[in-house]
């Protein structure tokens, strides 16, 4: 029996074939059939679609290059892994194996770092929400507590007084680095004197050990010069403390925020072309520190809490095409099984997306949607893509930072995460959710158990 072809309303649409654009580049697509030596097709078949894939090799390589960028320029450097950027245990442990301390911003993250085997004294505790219980724990474990506001400072003083312990503290400083708007909601301001005031309060109380100064000026920062300004300002505060109290600050923590190679929405050029390199950030920070007037007997340890720049390009999200359809204006749209609930960064990046199999050389302006029954579920508003068919697979690039922590269980269940190790062996490092994992947290009161329809 021959089945009749389904009728589709004809439209006239210009197909593009490797058109040069104003930069002289052509839109050239190569299929990406393998990730770290493994066939996309096989990975999806074995572990399901969608699937997060992390490369251990890439994580270590990027980390070592970043460490080298700083260590060649400055004598004493320490990295601390930003847990919120990606706190899968397997990922954290790679960074800890590479020598990174832990940088956490909540009680839950703090407990995770301890559970991962990080010594208390090598955990940096940031963030505006540290409960009294959290702080007591951190004081007992000798962790580095970065004070965010005066209420926290006073609470710590009480804990110090009652416990007889001397908390090791730093303050978080916010400042004008020439980048606006200023992130002034965290920590104490430099320009208006709040930071100096907090330092004096700490020194006068005599209850705490002032060990460091911290700043984290923003995220996805594209200006190394801003870090130079920030480092100079922290060095100036350190020098003021040295002059007034003859007290040496042991470390300067420059936070994170270095841009990854992703492309911000609305950006004219791709991130791979415009994001500064880690060397650029390292050069700005280390030269500002060394050129400052701060000259203690021992140079302060330089702490770096970089997150996204270290891990973004070490993970991919594999997905499959569910369907194609035409929008009312005739524009092509493709529905993927990857929603913004698991690809949270689609809200601010134009992710690079590559088909996983060969295709025609024609491309068409396409809207890429996710599977959610929600208007906001847009993976790319407009992307010049080769024509994909139902069942085809795609690779979404640079998804290592923030997706596996900010993702949410909404409409669909979260997929598996696999790690490909340096010998190209695949490990499931986070299982997919199931109905069981969800209902395990729920409880139905007796009177609601039964119903009749
Ligand atoms: C989030 C955060 C980081 C990491 O930021 P990235 O933009 O991922 O580099 C570092 N330090 C603090 C205090 C943070 O809140």
* CB neighbour burial string for 77-98, b if at least 16 within 10 angstroms, e if fewer: bbbbbbbbbbbbebbbebbbeb
Compute the distance from residue 86 Cα to the ligand 1 centre, in Å: 11
Residues comprising the chain, all counted: 453
Looking at residue 10, its pLDDT comes to 77
Compute the distance from residue 257 Cα to the ligand 1 centre, in Å: 6
Domain presence at residue 16:
no
Compute the distance from residue 339 Cα to the ligand 1 centre, in Å: 25
Check whether residue 166 and residue 303 sit in a common domain: yes
Check whether residue 297 and residue 220 sit in a common domain: yes
Looking at residue 7, its pLDDT comes to 83
pLDDT at 18 over 70: no
Check whether residue 241 and residue 353 sit in a common domain: no
| Cβ of 84 below 6 Å from ligand 1 | yes
Pairing type for strands 315-326 and 332-336 reads antiparallel
Give dist(CA 48, CA 174) in Å, integer: 44
Check whether residue 277 and residue 361 sit in a common domain: no
Of 212, 213, 224, 257, the residue with max ligand 1 atoms within 8 A of its CB, to mutate for a pocket test, comes to 257
Q: What are phi and psi of 391, to 5 degrees?
A: 90, -15
Domain presence at residue 447:
no
- Ligand 1, closest atom to CA 220? 7
| Cβ of 105 below 6 Å from ligand 1 | yes
Compute the distance from residue 78 Cα to the ligand 1 centre, in Å: 15
Q: Sort residue 93 into left (φ over 0), alpha (ψ -120 to 50) or beta.
A: alpha
Check whether residue 340 and residue 410 sit in a common domain: yes
Compute the distance from residue 279 Cα to the ligand 1 centre, in Å: 18
Domain presence at residue 245:
yes
Number of H helices, E strands in the chain: 13, 20
Check whether residue 306 and residue 323 sit in a common domain: no
| Cβ of 350 below 6 Å from ligand 1 | no
pLDDT band at 9 (very low <50, low <70, confident <90, very high): confident
pLDDT at 195 over 90: yes
Count structural domains, the chain.
Answer: 2
Compute the distance from residue 71 Cα to the ligand 1 centre, in Å: 20
* Mean pLDDT (whole number) for 137-158: 98
Q: What is the CATH number of the domain that holds 424?
A: 2.40.37.10
Show which of 267, 288, 312 is a domain's final residue.
312
What are the residues facing 413 on neighbouring strands? none
Looking at residue 425, its pLDDT comes to 98
Looking at residue 15, its pLDDT comes to 64
| Cβ of 222 below 6 Å from ligand 1 | no
Peptide bond into 181 cis (omega under 30): yes
Looking at residue 27, its pLDDT comes to 54
| Cβ of 216 below 6 Å from ligand 1 | yes
Domain presence at residue 175:
yes
Looking at residue 4, its pLDDT comes to 83
* Mean pLDDT (whole number) for 200-225: 96
Of 85, 86, 212, the residue with max ligand 1 atoms within 8 A of its CB, to mutate for a pocket test, comes to 85
Looking at residue 354, its pLDDT comes to 95
- Ligand 1, closest atom to CA 308? 8
Show which of 255, 279, 312 is a domain's final residue.
312
| Cβ of 405 below 6 Å from ligand 1 | no
pLDDT at 20 over 70: no
pLDDT band at 30 (very low <50, low <70, confident <90, very high): confident
Looking at residue 14, its pLDDT comes to 67
Domain presence at residue 448:
no
Q: Within 10 A of 384 (CB to CB), how many other CB atoms are there?
A: 14
pLDDT digits over 287-328, tens only? Answer: 999 999 998 898 999 999 999 999 999 999 999 999 999 999
- Ligand 1, closest atom to CA 221? 7
214 within 8 A of 253, measured Cβ to Cβ: yes
Check whether residue 318 and residue 203 sit in a common domain: no
Check whether residue 97 and residue 212 sit in a common domain: yes
- Ligand 1, closest atom to CA 402? 8
Show which of 312, 329, 359 is a domain's final residue.
312
Compute the distance from residue 226 Cα to the ligand 1 centre, in Å: 16
Compute the distance from residue 85 Cα to the ligand 1 centre, in Å: 7
Please give the model's pTM, rounded to 2 decimal places. Answer: 0.94
Query: Percent of the chain having pLDDT more than 90?
Result: 86
Query: CB-side exposure of 289: number of CA atoms within 13 Å?
Result: 26
Looking at residue 6, its pLDDT comes to 78
pLDDT at 23 over 70: no
Q: What SS3 state is found at 49?
A: coil
Query: CB-side exposure of 277: number of CA atoms within 13 Å?
Result: 10
Which residues constitute the domain of residue 368?
34-53+313-438
Average pLDDT of the residues of the chain: 94
Check whether residue 241 and residue 229 sit in a common domain: yes
pLDDT at 228 over 70: yes
Compute the distance from residue 408 Cα to the ligand 1 centre, in Å: 20
Q: What is the CATH number of the domain that holds 143?
A: 3.20.20.10
Check whether residue 157 and residue 283 sit in a common domain: yes
Nearest protein CA to atom 11 of ligand 1, as residue:
255
Compute the distance from residue 444 Cα to the ligand 1 centre, in Å: 39
Q: What SS3 state is found at 419?
A: strand
Looking at residue 11, its pLDDT comes to 74
Check whether residue 282 and residue 332 sit in a common domain: no
* Largest separation between any pair of C-alpha atoms in the chain: 93
| Cβ of 126 below 6 Å from ligand 1 | yes
Check whether residue 262 and residue 120 sit in a common domain: yes
Please tell me which residue, 30 or 78, carries the higher pLDDT value. 78
Compute the distance from residue 243 Cα to the ligand 1 centre, in Å: 31
Please tell me which residue, 9 or 201, carries the higher pLDDT value. 201
């Amino acid at each position: 029996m021959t089945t009749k072809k389904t009728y589709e309303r004809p439209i006239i649409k210009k197909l593009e074939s490797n058109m040069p654009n104003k930069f002289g580049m052509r839109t050239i697509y190569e299929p990406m059939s393998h990730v770290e030596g493994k066939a996309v097709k096989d990975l999806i078949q074995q572990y399901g679609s969608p699937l997060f894939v992390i490369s251990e090799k890439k994580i270590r390589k990027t980390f070592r290059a970043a460490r080298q960028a700083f260590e060649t320029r400055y004598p004493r450097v320490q990295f601390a892994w930003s847990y919120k950027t990606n706190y899968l245990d397997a990922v954290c442990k790679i960074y800890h194996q590479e020598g990174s301390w832990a940088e956490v911003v909540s009680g839950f993250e703090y407990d995770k770092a301890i559970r991962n085997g990080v010594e208390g004294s090598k955990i940096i505790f940031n963030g505006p929400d540290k409960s009294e219980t959290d702080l007591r724990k951190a004081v007992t474990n000798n962790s580095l507590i970065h004070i965010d506001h005066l209420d926290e400072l006073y609470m710590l003083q009480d804990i110090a007084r009652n416990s007889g312990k001397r908390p090791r503290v730093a303050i978080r400083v916010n400042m004008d680095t020439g980048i606006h708007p200023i992130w002034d909601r965290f920590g104490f301001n430099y320009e208006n004197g709040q930071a100096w005031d907090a330092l004096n309060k700490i020194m006068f109380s005599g209850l705490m050990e002032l060990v460091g100064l911290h700043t984290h000026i923003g995220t996805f920062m594209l200006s190394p010069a801003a870090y130079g300004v920030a480092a100079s300002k922290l060095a100036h505060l350190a020098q003021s403390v040295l002059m007034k109290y003859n007290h040496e600050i042991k470390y300067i923590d420059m936070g994170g925020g270095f841009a990854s190679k992703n492309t911000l929405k609305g950006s004219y050029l791709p991130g791979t072309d415009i994001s500064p390199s880690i060397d650029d950030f390292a050069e700005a920070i280390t030269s500002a520190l060394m050129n400052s007037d701060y000259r203690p007997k021992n140079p302060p340890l330089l702490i770096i809490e970089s997150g996204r720049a270290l891990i973004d390009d070490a993970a991919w999200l594999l997905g499959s095409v569910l369907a194609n359809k035409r929008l009312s204006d005739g524009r092509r749209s493709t529905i993927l099984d990857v929603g913004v609930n698991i690809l949270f960064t689609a809200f601010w990046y134009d992710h690079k997306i590559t088909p996983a199999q060969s295709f025609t050389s024609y491309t068409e302006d396409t809207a890429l949607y996710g599977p959610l029954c929600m208007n906001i579920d847009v993976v790319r508003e407009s992307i010049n893509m080769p024509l994909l068919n139902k069942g085809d697979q795609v690779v979404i690039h640079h998804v290592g930072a923030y997706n596996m922590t900010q993702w949410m269980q909404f409409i669909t269940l979260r997929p598996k995460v696999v790690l490909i190790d340096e010998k190209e062996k695949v490990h499931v490092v986070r299982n997919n959710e199931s109905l069981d994992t969800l209902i395990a947290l729920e409880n139905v009161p007796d009177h609601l158990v039964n119903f009749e329809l």
